[in-house]
Amino acid sequence: YEAVISASSPLVGRNVRDSNFRSNYGAVIIAIHRNGERILKKIGDVVLRSGDTLLLPPLHNGLFLMAAGHIWPLQEASALKQERIYTAREISPSLYALGTVSNGILLINRAGQVVRHFSTHNGLENNNIRSIFADRQGNLWAGLDEGIAMIDYLSPISKLSPVPKSRMATYT
């Protein structure tokens, strides 16, 4: 969905982060356009102006991608309708990280298929993902309820753990 900021909106002159947009309006902004151009800086840092167009995902209808002025649904993403997605980040041209409220991080491809899942079952400290950031070294950083996690999502190894009550050690 798109929403246009009116001149009388209380959002005018405030950055997205300080406006508490998510908690006040129950929606997440995934892109902002100004004068027909997408603003490429961090969404939370954008100071909103009258006439800005906000792109809001209709999560109850599935997930959508937007590129080159076109929006299309992710056909394979129907299984994601039950997920409570809190944050999302493009981490490569063909891969997206979705942070959920209670199911960790889902990596999906452009078709909407889940290609990796990180949760407490494979080493994540907890499943409530507050923020996601991808660094230049190919690591995924997740802000959790009580700390941060660094995930080497490109690694073929998903979890190393010692055998409980054994004298074995795990080395990488």
Q: Say how far apart CA 140 and CA 153 lie, in whole Å.
A: 7
CA 168 – CA 165 distance, rounded (Å): 9
Give pLDDT tens digits for 10-59: 899 999 999 888 777 767 787 888 988 888 888 889 999 998 888 776 55
47-67 per-position pLDDT tens digit: 999 988 887 765 566 666 655
DSSP string, 19-58: HTHHHHHS----EEEETTEE--S-GGGPBP-TT-EEE---
**What pLDDT shows up at residue 32?**
87
Please tell me the predicted confidence (pLDDT) of residue 119: 92
Mapping DSSP to helix (H, G, I), strand (E, B) and coil, where does residue 132 land? strand
Q: What percent of the chain stands above pLDDT 90?
A: 21
Structure confidence at residue 146 (pLDDT): 84
Q: Which helix (H) or strand (E) holds 80?
A: none
Residues 6+ apart with CB under 8 A from 41: none
